[in-house]
């Protein structure tokens, strides 16, 4: 086993991922000392290293490096145990996770922490989260959302002097939902779904004397009850003009916003866009639609081509091995997540003094298409809606516009 070669490969990875030279040199010093520690302990390979040895290695580092000092971990809160030398702890976690992901190590020495976080006043709360993770097979995002509301409900009951699950009353549930969701129907439905699963789990264990899950009735939400809120064309132009493309991240954000406004695609579809999805000769782009899983081909306008080309040539890291078009600004240079991309657009909207989220750009795109007379079947295809009922929400934007569109559709029959 050539541990030195591993360290060299890891240094190359850090450099290609955009880490600063100082950070790279610091981590390589830690790993070279780790190699000496493994040799001193007589370990045959890094596979023998375990989290329990982190404290011994840190002590070894402090004793054998003349410039080494213990960090301020003792005087401030840390996610690591023992709470000292956070920099070395980060080095160990990142290196061993990289070694496992690249196939150097068969086992993950420092796996990501499970979804159960913090201290729960009711032990059954953490038991239910483990049950969700191990037996229900929830996706990571669903598991995090379940963990969020279970943790909040656990703390809410404790603050209300509830010491046992059987002491819970209906007003506790109502007050918690009112506190967390107010009148937001979608959020009420989401919270009740989480609580319904929790209550049925507790009822099956005999911790509740009645099935409170069956008593939760979410308010009905009508599909066409609300009008989509849009951003006017003047506001879109003001948003684009407010972005300084000469500053760091300006070209990336300008390209993302122009793509969302001119093509009406979702944040998740922009985030998953890869370099091979861009056909420069035909001036088209291919999106993998997140809802119906179909491929959507959209035309690339000349302004959008110029903006994308400028970002790819001058701002996007050339040394990155990532194939996604839009990357993070800070190391590691990884693909933007849908939430990260939506957050970047929301920050630009807020800076321009425009209320709303990036998803309103999609509504504005649909509104403009209806205004120029595009029929609903075409709009359904462009928006990636599986059912026409999802597209019908835009009929409430303008009654005059709806009448014109209806008349144009009727002429086709």
206 domain-assigned: yes
Residue-range definition of the domain harbouring residue 338:
233-410
The residues, any chain, with a CB within 8 Å of residue 280's CB and separated by 6 or more, are 305
Longest CA span, the chain: 86
184 domain-assigned: yes
Q: Are residues 206 and 260 both part of a single domain? A: no
Q: Are residues 173 and 251 both part of a single domain? A: no
**What average pLDDT does range 257-281 have in this prediction?**
94
The alpha carbon of 51 is separated from its chain's Cα centroid by a whole number of angstroms, namely 28
d(CA 135, CA 11): 39
pLDDT at 1: 58
Partners of 298 in the beta sheet?
A: 285
pLDDT at 76: 47
What is the domain count for the chain? 3
Query: Across the chain, what does the average pLDDT equal?
Result: 85
Confidence of residue 201 (pLDDT cuts 50, 70, 90): very high
- Tens digits of residue pLDDT in 128-168: 988 988 888 777 778 888 998 999 999 999 999 999 999 99
Question: By the 8 A CB rule, do 157 and 106 touch?
Answer: no
Q: What is the CATH number of the domain that holds 142?
A: 1.10.150.130
> Which one of 33, 66, 101 terminates a domain?
101
107 domain-assigned: no
Residue 368 has pLDDT above 90, yes or no: no
Q: Are residues 168 and 299 both part of a single domain? A: no
pLDDT at 73: 46
Helix 250-263 to helix 302-314 angle (10° resolution) is 150
Q: Are residues 273 and 364 both part of a single domain? A: yes
Q: Are residues 210 and 245 both part of a single domain? A: no
Confidence of residue 413 (pLDDT cuts 50, 70, 90): very low
pLDDT at 59: 84
Whole-Å CA distances, 239 to 52, 242, 245, 251, 358: 52, 5, 12, 13, 11
Q: What is the CATH number of the domain that holds 366?
A: 1.10.443.10
Whole-Å CA distances, 142 to 139, 145, 148, 219, 407: 5, 5, 10, 22, 44
Burial status of residue 54 (CB atoms within 10 A of its CB: 0-12, 13-18, 19 or more): buried
pLDDT at 183: 77
More confident residue, 229 or 201: 201
Question: By the 8 A CB rule, do 327 and 320 touch?
Answer: yes
d(CA 147, CA 138): 11
More confident residue, 154 or 182: 154
Sign of CA dihedral 336, 337, 343, 348: positive
Q: Are residues 171 and 271 both part of a single domain? A: no
Work out the angle at residue 345's Cα, subtended by the Cα atoms of residues 193 and 293, and round it to the nearest 5 degrees.
55
Percent of the chain clearing pLDDT 90 (strictly above): 48
Residue 239 has pLDDT above 70, yes or no: yes
pLDDT at 395: 67
- Tens digits of residue pLDDT in 45-88: 888 898 888 888 888 887 887 666 555 544 444 444 544 677 88
Q: Are residues 288 and 386 both part of a single domain? A: yes
Confidence of residue 303 (pLDDT cuts 50, 70, 90): very high
Closest Cα partner for 95 from 43, 42, 38, 34?
34
Residue 390 has pLDDT above 80, yes or no: no
pLDDT at 375: 83
pLDDT at 320: 82
108 domain-assigned: no
84 domain-assigned: yes
Question: Where is 278: in which H helix or E strand?
Answer: strand 278-279
- Tens digits of residue pLDDT in 325-355: 999 998 889 999 998 999 999 999 999 999 8
> Which one of 181, 215, 249 terminates a domain?
215
Helix, strand or coil, per DSSP, at residue 34 = helix
109 domain-assigned: no
Q: Are residues 308 and 336 both part of a single domain? A: yes
**What average pLDDT does range 105-124 have in this prediction?**
76
Helix, strand or coil, per DSSP, at residue 284 = strand
Active site residues: 266, 291, 359, 362, 385, 394
Q: Are residues 277 and 400 both part of a single domain? A: yes
Q: Are residues 190 and 247 both part of a single domain? A: no
> Which one of 101, 133, 148 terminates a domain?
101
Work out the angle at residue 392's Cα, subtended by the Cα atoms of residues 390 and 394, and round it to the nearest 5 degrees.
105
């Amino acid at each position: 086993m050539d541990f030195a070669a591993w360290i060299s490969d890891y240094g190359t990875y850090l450099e290609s991922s955009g880490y600063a030279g100082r950070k790279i040199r610091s981590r390589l010093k830690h790993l070279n000392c780790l190699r000496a520690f493994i040799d001193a302990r007589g370990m045959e390979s890094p596979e023998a290293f375990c989290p329990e040895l982190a404290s011994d290695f840190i002590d070894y580092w402090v004793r054998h490096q003349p410039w080494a000092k213990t960090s301020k971990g003792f005087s401030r809160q840390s996610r690591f145990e023992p709470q000292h030398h956070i920099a070395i702890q980060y080095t160990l976690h990142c290196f061993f996770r990289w070694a496992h992901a690249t196939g150097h190590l068969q086992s993950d020495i420092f796996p990501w922490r499970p979804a159960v976080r913090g201290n729960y006043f009711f032990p059954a709360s953490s038991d239910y989260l483990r049950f969700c993770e191990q037996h229900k097979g929830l996706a990571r995002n669903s598991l995090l959302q379940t963990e969020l509301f279970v943790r909040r409900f656990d703390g809410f009951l404790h603050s209300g002097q509830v010491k046992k699950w059987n002491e819970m009353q209906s007003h506790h549930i109502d007050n918690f939902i009112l506190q967390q969701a107010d009148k937001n129907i979608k959020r009420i439905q989401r919270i009740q779904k989480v609580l319904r699963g929790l209550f049925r789990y507790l009822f099956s264990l005999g911790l509740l004397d009645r099935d409170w899950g069956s008593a939760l009735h979410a308010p009905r939400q009508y599909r066409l009850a609300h009008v989509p809120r849009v951003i006017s064309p003047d506001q879109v132009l003001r948003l684009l003009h407010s972005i300084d493309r000469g500053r760091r991240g300006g070209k990336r954000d300008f390209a993302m916003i122009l793509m969302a406004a001119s093509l009406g695609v979702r944040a998740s579809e922009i985030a998953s866009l890869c370099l091979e999805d861009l056909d420069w000769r035909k001036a088209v782009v291919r999106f993998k639609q997140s809802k119906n899983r179909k491929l959507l081909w959209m035309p690339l306008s000349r302004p959008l081509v110029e903006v994308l080309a400028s970002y790819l040539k001058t701002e996007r890291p050339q040394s990155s091995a990532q194939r996604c078009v839009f990357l993070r600004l800070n190391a590691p240079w990884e693909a933007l997540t849908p939430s990260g991309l939506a957050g970047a657009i929301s920050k630009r909207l807020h800076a321009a003094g425009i209320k709303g989220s990036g998803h309103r750009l999609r509504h504005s795109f649909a509104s403009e298409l209806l205004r120029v007379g595009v029929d609903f079947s075409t709009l359904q295809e462009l928006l990636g809606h599986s059912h026409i009922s999802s597209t019908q929400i835009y009929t409430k934007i303008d009654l005059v516009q709806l009448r014109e569109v209806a008349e144009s559709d009727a002429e086709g029959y």
